[in-house]
A and B are shown apart, each in its own frame.
Chain A
Amino acid sequence: MQKNIFISILLLTVFGQYSNAQELFPLSEAASSIPKNALGIRLFSETYKEVDKIRNMTYLRLMYGVTPRFSVYLTGITSNHHGENFPVEFPFHNTPERGAKYPYKFNGVHLYGKYRFFSRDGENEHLRMAAYAEGTLVKTTHHETEPDLEYGDNTGVGAGLIGTYLKNKFAVSGTFGGILPSENSGDSPDPIDNLPPVPITIQYGKALTYSLSFGYLLLPRKYKDYNQTNVNLYLEFHGKAYQTAKVNLFVGEANEYYLESVRYPPALQGNYFVDMSPGVQFIIRSNLRIDCAATFHMLGTTYARLYPVYCIGIQQYLFFHKKR
């Protein structure tokens, strides 16, 4: 922990010495929008080790500039994070279910819309603000109360605001939003043989999401042409504050009951956390973008992942050259 904080302070100090960077954050959205009629494709993968298993989430995203100010993203999400059923004796003894083997499967889709409602552009700088709304539809048995729409843990909706300031080579961006996850139903196998599985409904906690991201254009020191490879450094802080879940057991049966939250394991209790993600980005020929980042835990508590989390993203824009 102390080491992480030391690294973050060091990076912030290094960044702070320059008045210049970029806003193409590996893990956060900037307030800027996609050029009109441009189509972007992004492949993103997040990996971490959980006991003896490697957990991976990979998504493929299509991004389109509907207007100069309004962009939409459609994402298909796959992962090996989720099983068909809830764990045995959920939620009492086996939550979260560390190291369980889950098949790699298609989780569902995520739809995101961002509208840039404020722009103040200057020479080599801009201040922009945007509002976003998102929705996810997945069929997954997520085991922790912390909701996640972008990576396909929950069905639900969310919205928020983004503010981004960019001056020469330096960029800073903040996001504040909320997630309203939907209720989920499923079965938890009964530990006693021959007994039917226990039907469960879980209402995951509502969450506030927040992030603060810094970016710095390291190379080139001076622009000459589009073929110069850009190298950007990033430091992102992001996290959530989430509520305690609500779990009903034996749903639809005579003995259905609401489980008092005091009996929940910590993974279903409300909490907050802040993660820190240093990252590096390469932009080749002013279009092909390769993001590499690692996420470390900083503050608070989360049970939805183990650290470090390694992320890689590859992105490219396609422009339609129709004359007008």
Chain B
Amino acid sequence: MFKRFVYVMLLLMMVNHCQAQVLSAKVGINGLTCSQCSRSVEIQLRKLSFVKNVNMNLASTEGTLQFKEGSDIDFLKIAKAVKDAGFSVRFLDAEIDMQKVKMHEKGFTIGNDLYLFPDAKNIQSANAKFRFLGKMFSSGKNESNTNESPAKGHVYSLKLAS
């Protein structure tokens, strides 16, 4: 009984650890000009299993995403959802709790995903805001992909967001 309790507590602690790594994300959407279009993007984003809440700003054509606790966040799926609504990503930023990520020689990892940012170790602040690079995110030349060793999941290229 006691062992089971310890397992449950450990599990809860692990889940709690995962959830807080990505605090929120903001996606800028190109081509949006009306509330009907904005609503269709919001609906596509809300379909994603790891998305808890979407708050669209029609004036700035940006959406702020909150994520479900303990879920695996797939940023490529966010970009794809915007495309599925018929629009394109202008930028994708994510605020990450740097104290809860696992450092890697090329950046850091969250779960199975590798985030390429060599200067990650030098980030002093607890939270850092990154901009995703790559064609899917309409930013920079570096392509995020899934083939970069050693990550089992996605590999994202990042730069610090302003």
Contacts and interface: CB of A to CB of B under 8 A. Distances in A.
Helix, strand, loop or mixed for chain A's interface?
loop
B161 interface: no
A316 to B, nearest CB: 11
Closest 5 CB pairs of A and B: A121-B31, A121-B30, A223-B58, A126-B31, A36-B84
A283 B36 CA distance: 8
B33 to A, nearest CB: 6
Nearest to A71: B86
Interface string B88-114: 101000000000000000000000000
22 contacts: A24-B36, A34-B86, A35-B43, A35-B44, A37-B84, A65-B86, A121-B88, A122-B31, A123-B28, A123-B90, A126-B30, A126-B33, A217-B33, A217-B34, A222-B59, A225-B35, A226-B35, A283-B35, A286-B39, A317-B40, A323-B49, A324-B48
B159 interface: no
A164 B48 CA distance: 30
Nearest to B85: A35
A204 B103 CA distance: 73
Interface of B: 28, 30-36, 38-40, 43-44, 46-49, 58-59, 61, 77, 83-88, 90
Nearest to B42: A226
B47 A230 contact: no
Interface of A: 22, 24, 32-38, 65, 68-69, 116, 119, 121-126, 166-169, 171, 217, 222-226, 228, 230, 283, 286-287, 289, 317, 319, 321-324
Contacts of B43: 35, 38, 319, 321
A324 to B, nearest CB: 6
B82 to A, nearest CB: 9
B33 A166 contact: yes
A41 to B, nearest CB: 15
Nearest to B80: A68
A223 B35 contact: yes
B26 to A, nearest CB: 14
B86 A287 contact: no
Contact of A286 (B38, B85, B88): B38
Given A68-B84, A119-B88, A122-B30, A323 B48 contact: yes
